Amino acid sequence: MSRTRLLALLVALAAVVVAAWQRSRAVERLGQDFDEAVYLPIAFTYAGMMDEGRWGDIGKVRENFEHPPLVKLLFAEAVRVSGAPEPDWRDVPMGRPIPDAARPAFNVTRGLSAVAGVLQVGLVALVDPLGALLLAWDPYHTKYTSQAYLEAVPGLLAVLALLAFERARRMGFAPGWTAVSGALLGLAAAGKYPYGLVGGLTFLPFLVAGARTRWRPWAAIVVSTAAVFILVNPALWASPFASLWESITFHWGYSHNEHVRRAGLPWYQPLVFLTDTWLSASDPGIYLTHFNAWALLALAVLGLPRTWRERPVWAVAAVVGLVFLLLWNTKWPQYLLLVIPALCVCAGRGARTLAHGAVWLVRRVQGSRVSAGA
């Protein structure tokens, strides 16, 4: 094994270790967050329906209908398998340490998220080990893949979809791998809609440029995406188009409602989040470093040209995701997970570009000194 490959392997292993350590600390130490107070009671509702064999009623649950049920169903299965009792939610304070009685329910659902978050880091390490290390200690990725939020599982599926789409593109959009990427995209969308939207917009220019008028790749990705998306989304089974339209219009209305307007976050708020240390400073016992706030965005910009040359799908994913965040009215910090893995891939290549530039500069200076001495 070459020295370069060995170094890449060691960095990748370090990334996975850091990711597992930081997320295990977050699972244990973070207090209940706002969305957990919505998703976990629904998970126990689903679990009760499963226990009673009322599978047909799952799609009729109206609470939090704006988000598809897949991740909440996974949380439900986690509490069923573990036997974790449902807490008295009145006794679980917001933003405070989790009470002992509620700990089993939070541990098992947060643990599911954390495993998905660590797997994301491992998969990103296949693309860029330095990028994986940046992702491993990223405070936003850590927080929202260590709580019972909807981000971790669709984020993992979105990364898998990008990898499968890269393979399909290298094979000239052979229907098999193209269908696999579409199926993974459909699963990601069934976890949380924006992951499917950003992924689809990332794929589109490559399909237009590479597949052109060939109908097989288009059929493979459209049919597989739609079929899997509907198959694993019980909320759509009774009336797919009406239910999907209701969810979409809810999100559009929510992004313009009084709650969002009252928050008063500017269009560039995602950039503020990415360059602010507020989260990494909020609990130094969890988050290892402020480095990403200082350098992630700058390194990603520096590494974007190289990423475009070497892994163009990830470069487009970074640009599409960031543009989506800037245009979409809802600016909550968990939405950053739509783009952070791709930004970390670009930033990893940016760090290598910077290192190569520094080595070149040192050699140039040394060469000048030698020439002057002669």
The domain limits of the chain are: 3-369
Picking from 95-104, 196-205, 292-301, 355-364, which range would have the lowest pLDDT averaged per residue? 355-364
pLDDT of residue 362: 81
> Which residues, other chains included, contact 175 with Cβ-Cβ below 8 Å and sequence gap of 6+?
216, 217, 219, 220
Mean pLDDT of 89-110: 96
> From CA 69, how far away is CA 206, in angstroms rounded?
30
Mean pLDDT of 207-219: 90
**3-class secondary structure, 94:** strand
> Which residues, other chains included, contact 367 with Cβ-Cβ below 8 Å and sequence gap of 6+?
none
Instruction: For the full predicted model, state whether its pTM sits above 0.85.
Output: yes
Summarised one tens digit per residue, pLDDT across range 152-182 is 999 999 999 999 999 999 999 999 999 999 9
pLDDT of residue 260: 67
> From CA 115, how far away is CA 118, in angstroms rounded?
5
Mean pLDDT of 228-256: 81
Q: What percent of the chain has pLDDT over 70?
A: 95
Closest CA to 162 of 343, 297, 342: 342
Please give the mean pLDDT across all residues of the chain. 93
- Provide the token pair at 227: 């079929």
Radius of gyration of the chain from Cα atoms? 22
pLDDT of residue 164: 98
Q: Is the pLDDT of residue 85 over 80?
A: yes
pLDDT of residue 373: 61
Which amino acid, 368?
A: S
Summarised one tens digit per residue, pLDDT across range 296-325 is 999 999 999 999 999 999 999 999 999 999
Mean pLDDT of 279-308: 95
> From CA 74, how far away is CA 47, in angstroms rounded?
10
Summarised one tens digit per residue, pLDDT across range 4-19 is 899 999 999 999 999 9
